[in-house]
Structure 1
Amino acid sequence: MLKNEVYCDISFRVGEEEKLVRAHKYVLASRSPVFDAMFYGDLPEAKEITIPDIEPPSFDVLLRFLYCGDVEVHNDTVIGALYAAEKYDVGALKEATESYLDKNITNETVFSVFANAKLFGLEALSKKCIEFINEKGAYVFQSQFALQISKDTLKEILSSENLDIEELRVYHFLISWGEGQCEVKGYEKSDENIRNQIGDAVYRVRFQFMDLDMFVKNVCRRNILTSDDKLILQQVIAGNMEKESTKFNLGKRKPALKTCNGLRSGSHFESWRYHDHKRRRQDRHTVPYWMQH
């Protein structure tokens, strides 16, 4: 019925290209309270609705789910589908996309999954991402996507008490992140500009756990830190100053027990199919297709 556009009574202009998509009001309204209000509320929408904030492939995922409860998601549609599910209050589709993301946390994807989990308020998924990052910090920070995270995400991750990574590697990653920000904004990659981009995130590096020789060779030769900061940290490392006297977080990290061994460490999302059994059999709970076989 959807594919052949038989008896369609509503049209959408979807995405930047304003692709024309036709559908049936009753089907959409029966599965989404937002569509129900749009079509049958006090102020019903016109017969053609523009949706610029969802691209056609993701909107297609939404429609297929509303019509048949059986949808296949991929890495290029899952975030758009999650957004569409949130926008139109389709709880089962939100669960399906969240489950897809949960099953596809890898070294390459974890930062992207984490950012979107935070955006959509998926607390359990956010926690799982943090656990994955904590355990595999030495690997996930090598991902090209790690350099694209926001400053707030950066600070949250570096503040973790359970991050399993050497502090020198944290410091070098922080510089690489700052260089990336300079490049995006068209700034010269000077130490001053890098520090301006890093800002107070630098205080999350536990410099105390570098030995003095390592600190001098790798930190003091650059001007990411101020002269006063370098002097204070050298005194802390040498044991001549109480660590509480600095604004740096110098508490010892305590990596947690390994909990993510079952998660893949590859670099690609996989295709994933979800089937809404509740759609067709009311006496069963809605569960992913793979749990039924």
Structure 2
Amino acid sequence: MSDLSRLSVNQETIRQWSLPELAEGCVTAGVPGVGLWRAPVQEYGVERAARLMRDAGLTVTSLCRGGFLTGDDRAPALADNRRAVDEAAALGTATLVLVSGGLPPGSRDLHGARERVAEALAELAPYAADRGVRLAVEPLHPMFASDRCVVSTLGQALDLAERFPAERVGVVVDTYHLWWDDRLAGDIARAGSRIAAFQLADWITPLPAGVLLGRGQLGDGVVDFRRLWELVEATGYAGPVEVEIFNEDLWSRDGADVLAEVADRYVGHVLPA
């Protein structure tokens, strides 16, 4: 199989490219989807970016990111997340990825921090639904729990999402963050129609200093992508499959070469043999 019809390349995977270069490169490579990030989109102009992608015939599969909802001062975070919803709607994507945020300064209360996320979702979900956007709660690997994301497993993400209608709050299945969890198969089945995004990156060790940029190219690490593909497909998910890799080695290379390698690895390591 060499079908790229569901492949999406997250903007951060080829961070060295501008938005016009990303659009042109994806069209040339036959990649139909892109995942975008707020900061470069804001810099380029939201409406201008939406027009660029639309004119190129590309689907914006997600916008990253909203969230960071665990702080003591909720009002600025909620206001920023409403702006993120508006940006997602303008870009034509129905998926706004949320990274919940870490522990508030001085706190050790993980449960309390997750409850803050739930309270914020209750305020944001109706606003997003009115604009055709679903909030997608992304669990991050536990090493990020203190400073970035108190939601560490798909089960924890579902515990939050299931308080709301599935069409309003979904979850992200990201292979980099979830591959290690022995409850993952059951949690993916439980997620069902709540899967709003399926993101791919490999796990390689040793992790670099700072760990954030430790995602590996597909096939370079230990993640069993085909098994996870099968588990997600079994839920009925038929949406985009987005490759999101933060890796300085990839960013130092020619963008067209990186994109061609991503497509080749997607066919060779992710699609059913």
- TM-score by structure 2 length? 0.29
Higher-Rg structure is: 1
- TM-score by structure 1 length? 0.27
Structure (1 or 2) with the greater helix fraction: 1
Relative contact order higher in (CA < 8 Å, ≥ 6 apart): 2
Structure (1 or 2) with the greater strand fraction: 2
